[in-house]
A = this chain, B = another copy of it.
């Protein structure tokens, strides 16, 4: 039996509670209870609630990005790469609904706005697979000549909305619908 890592328990409990009830529906006392841990113990691993929230965000995002890069067809056409990313992203969200809901909560909070501001306006050193794809798409005239931010909106706007609707039970996505949604997004960005 592996040792039940307390930090991991805390992180899992926080993910569940925050994904389901939002930041303000997840008091530290309840997180501790669900993690099977004393309230004070959390503060041995995280300086405060903000820090817990931020670290959890980074972990969830990293896990997702790593998954997205597996099998990315670097050598195929722009269209095929676009469709691959859309499909894999949708599938990831559907099979990790807690992660999705957590990311949404984060993005729609002051934390997330600041975070995006840094990524979009700041000097973003990290290799960004999406940015690269869109820049190549525009410069090779395969995609519409629109600002990157708008191309992002045309792609992720629908994908996130559809994932949300699926997770909330407003629709049930199957392989065919996922593929057709990806194609429709492509129609939106392609020249």
Residues of chain B lying within 8 A (CB to CB) of residue A184: 144, 146, 150, 154, 188-189
| Size bracket of the A interface | 35 or more
Query: A residues 141-158 with Cβ under 8 Å of B?
Result: 144, 146-147, 149-150, 152-154, 156-158
| Interface locus among A32-40, A59-67, A68-76, A105-113 | A105-113
B168 touches A158 (CB 8 A): no
Q: Does more than half of chain A's interface fall in helix, strand or loop, or is it mixed?
A: helix
In the bound assembly, the distance between CA atoms of A189 and B188 in angstroms comes to 8
A96, CB-defined interface residue at 8 Å = no
Q: Mark A4-26, 1 if CB is under 8 A from B, else 0.
A: 00000000000000000110110
Judge whether A161 is part of the interface by a CB distance below 8 angstroms.
yes
Residues of B within 8 A of A109 (CB): 22
- Chain A, residues 154-184, CB within 8 Å of chain B (1/0): the string is 1011111110010010110000010011001
The stretch of A41-49, A115-123, A130-138 in contact with B is: A115-123
Q: How many copies does the complex hold?
A: 2
Chain B nearest Cβ from A180, distance in angstroms:
6
Are B146's CB and A156's CB within 8 A? no
Q: Is the CB of A171 within 8 A of B147?
A: yes
Which residue of chain B is the closest to A163 with respect to CB atoms?
B153
A33 to chain B, nearest CB (A): 21
Distance to closest chain B CB from A177 (angstroms):
7
Judge if A51 is at the interface, Cβ distance under 8 Å. Answer: no
Across-interface contacts of A187 in B (CB, < 8 A): 187-188, 190
User: A22 contacts which chain B residues (CB < 8 A)?
Assistant: 109-110
Q: How far is the CA of A158 from the CA of B185 in the complex (A)?
A: 10
Contacts A104-B108, A157-B157 given; indicate if A171 touches B188 (C-beta within 8 A). no
Which 10 A-B pairs rank lowest in CB-CB distance, beginning with the nearest? A157-B157, A188-B188, A153-B161, A157-B158, A157-B161, A108-B108, A149-B171, A153-B162, A153-B158, A154-B158
